[in-house]
Structure 1
């Protein structure tokens, strides 16, 4: 690896490492209760969170958490179930039903510890009465391809669910509920992390219906009637059943970016965090970031090179082609096309859970030779971008980043390393 690629990969590795449950979870654990301790949860990091909880919990506990296929880890007292992500399956449905059953009949002396991380929405697919899993799967696929933001997708999910939008916490009443959250969403809004199964939701059925209409998503008549009637309204903030429900954010994208920034500093490179909640169409964000990087390289504005531009958040991809990809490789391919081989600019974009889109590929790393490598393989980069084929493109030029399940998830990680360029003096004339 070149110095630039090694630096970028080291920053990504540091971002993932600082978000590991073993590092961030123990100090947020509550005191043991007088009664039972029941552990429930869902998400790509939930199994590792459960293992860390077992290692640090002094008393009795039992429970069930559900994670993505391939993300299970061995636990002694907490059962680990696996299910599909990002499109839910029957295993997730079964796990959601069992989790809801586990919290029935609890008392005021009992404690529920809920372990939630990104991916929990798909892993807890318990449809509202009158709907079935097939409907949820169909709507989920349409939302994923529509270009809707994560907040919009989760608003719809909450209002078609029997467990999300505060319903899980309400089912635990009158027990105390402590939710330990790993954020993977822009702004760290608990209602949008796994669609907020244990927190109040201010959005409405009308909001969910408007989102479906905005993106032209066709739904069965039963869904339209359900939302129009308001019968599937979520649990609202201030509901008395949530009075003993507490949310504790244990790590988030900003923390991961700060860890990456420290790696850059130690290498003698000045880091700049542009934001931890950047959203928008991935290819459009790539174009904007390319313009910023060129301005830094050529003009020293708004930052002097050498430097690293760091950002996180969750972009979206509107599916237009039939290629293989995810939002990180879509962003990176757009960035590389826009840079057009500009010297001295290198970049990485990866999903911190190790999976960009639906494949076990975290993302990729590029340098100024990206286009040259592609043309050498007789690959047209613009056609690859038009076909949403980021994974196919980067695999062909040997630029993919594959790290396997990271057992955490703090969303997208992007870093652009910019070296200084010779500047051309500019003057104005009459």
Structure 2
């Protein structure tokens, strides 16, 4: 890697680090603590950042706590008063089912003097599998796998998940009633849509069984006749926002994708680089978003519009990958490979794309980097970029070029982070 390439990739990695840092639970939990009640305080939660959130809460809270939080395998953080459990993500497992039941047990039989602090972050949907009557865990796993492969967006996926669960879609909050409920959220969804963050276990749901069934049919997701009949009859309806069991519930966003992008922009400014935030909720097929971003980057490079180089284009959100090949997927690397192919070695353009939770698709990698020499290097190694893209195998492509980014568990999750650096 040349000195200029190294400088550009170091800049991009620095921007990613700034985005991760601002979203760490220990940087934002203490500012959003609820006031104490006269009763006991129970802490429950789920998500890839939930254990770190629990630890930050313990360190900031003056008084006794108890409760149970579930996080992804490898994301546990030791706590003194709160029990930390681990389960599978993105496909739920038996440990997730055990954790969901333990959380429901924690909040049962509370009174109005008690309070529940709920810690929610991305990944909570898979980590809290509590199947509705008539749906086995195995069937729920199969539905989840089909949703992940079909190209459904996160709002669609979580609409289905809510209606096939006994804990999502406001049902956890209903189980806490009449206790006070304060939910602290780290958002990983486009537009910070509350019902879509971990499928909204403590917020009311305006979608219906009919909406869930329409999505199931749209993507031809196989379900049993029992589940279909119960959706048709409305048996699996969730908690509506006007339900009285939600009257004592408060929800606060403590970290968001926009906050992370702003932190990256601030870091770029400190390094003397202009930045332009293109959006925190960009969606669509990852490879198509890559094509669009390549067009914008070329416009900047050639015409200095809508911003003059040197500069960085920042964006977030959650793209999708419709799996057709036998690769492991990964929306960030699929976007990045598509971007590289479209740029075709355009001079002075480098990019990074990573999932802020440290896991992109089914690979234990956050994402990757690319430079204007990526395709040239691939040619030297006899790698065909388009073949890897067609096979949904971009992680293998970037790993072979030594451009993959392995962060390990980041202990936060504010969705995807993308940055394109454009030199003069």
TM-score when scaled to structure 2?
A: 0.98
User: How far off its partner does 1:2 sit?
Assistant: 1.2
* 101, 110, 123: which one aligns with 1:106: 110
* 397, 400, 415: which one aligns with 1:396: 400
* 75, 84, 89: which one aligns with 1:85: 89
Q: Residue in 2 aligned with 1:167?
A: 171
Which whole-Å CA distance do the structure 1 matches of 2:339 and 2:382 have between them? 20
* Structure 2, unpaired ranges of 5+: none
Q: Residue in 2 aligned with 1:428?
A: none
Which whole-Å CA distance do the structure 2 matches of 1:217 and 1:96 have between them? 24
Which whole-Å CA distance do the structure 1 matches of 2:42 and 2:15 have between them? 37
User: How far off its partner does 1:185 sit?
Assistant: 0.2
Which whole-Å CA distance do the structure 1 matches of 2:153 and 2:414 have between them? 16
* 311, 326, 329: which one aligns with 2:330: 326
Which whole-Å CA distance do the structure 1 matches of 2:131 and 2:62 have between them? 36
User: How far off its partner does 1:325 sit?
Assistant: 3.1
Are residues 1:341 and 2:345 paired? yes
Task: State the aligned residue count.
Answer: 420
Which whole-Å CA distance do the structure 1 matches of 2:399 and 2:138 have between them? 33
Q: Residues 321 and 329 of structure 2 are in contact (CA less than 8 Å); yes or no, is this contact kept in structure 1?
A: no
Which whole-Å CA distance do the structure 2 matches of 1:278 and 1:368 have between them? 24
SS of the residue 1:193 aligns to: helix
Deviations 1:289-323 (A, max 9, x none): 00000011011111111110000000000001001
Q: Residues 361 and 403 of structure 1 are in contact (CA less than 8 Å); yes or no, is this contact kept in structure 2?
A: yes
Which whole-Å CA distance do the structure 1 matches of 2:394 and 2:89 have between them? 20
* 352, 356, 370: which one aligns with 2:356: 352
Are residues 1:156 and 2:176 paired? no
* 135, 154, 162: which one aligns with 1:131: 135
Deviations 1:187-215 (A, max 9, x none): 00110000000000000000000001111
SS of the residue 1:308 aligns to: strand
Are residues 1:252 and 2:261 paired? no
* 192, 195, 201: which one aligns with 2:199: 195
Are residues 1:71 and 2:56 paired? no
User: How far off its partner does 1:411 sit?
Assistant: 0.4
Which whole-Å CA distance do the structure 2 matches of 1:211 and 1:103 have between them? 32
User: How far off its partner does 1:94 sit?
Assistant: 0.4
Q: Residue in 2 aligned with 1:270?
A: 274
Q: Residue in 2 aligned with 1:41?
A: 45
User: How far off its partner does 1:359 sit?
Assistant: 2.0
Q: Residues 204 and 234 of structure 1 are in contact (CA less than 8 Å); yes or no, is this contact kept in structure 2?
A: yes
* 206, 210, 221: which one aligns with 1:206: 210
Q: Residues 32 and 59 of structure 1 are in contact (CA less than 8 Å); yes or no, is this contact kept in structure 2?
A: no
Which whole-Å CA distance do the structure 2 matches of 1:223 and 1:410 have between them? 33
Deviations 1:109-144 (A, max 9, x none): 000000000000000000011211011100000000
Q: Residue in 1 aligned with 2:34?
A: 30
SS of the residue 2:43 aligns to: strand
User: How far off its partner does 1:226 sit?
Assistant: 1.4
Q: Which range moves more in the overlay, 16-25 or 213-222? A: 213-222
User: How far off its partner does 1:98 sit?
Assistant: 0.8
Q: Residue in 2 aligned with 1:118?
A: 122
Aligned-residue CA RMSD (Å): 0.7
Q: Residue in 2 aligned with 1:96?
A: 100
Q: Residues 280 and 315 of structure 2 are in contact (CA less than 8 Å); yes or no, is this contact kept in structure 1?
A: yes
Which whole-Å CA distance do the structure 2 matches of 1:261 and 1:143 have between them? 34
Which whole-Å CA distance do the structure 1 matches of 2:383 and 2:130 have between them? 43
SS of the residue 2:199 aligns to: coil
SS of the residue 1:341 aligns to: coil
Report matched runs for 1:223-238 at 5 Å.
223-238=227-242
Deviations 1:33-73 (A, max 9, x none): 10010000000000000001111111111000000000001
SS of the residue 1:40 aligns to: strand
Which whole-Å CA distance do the structure 1 matches of 2:153 and 2:39 have between them? 41
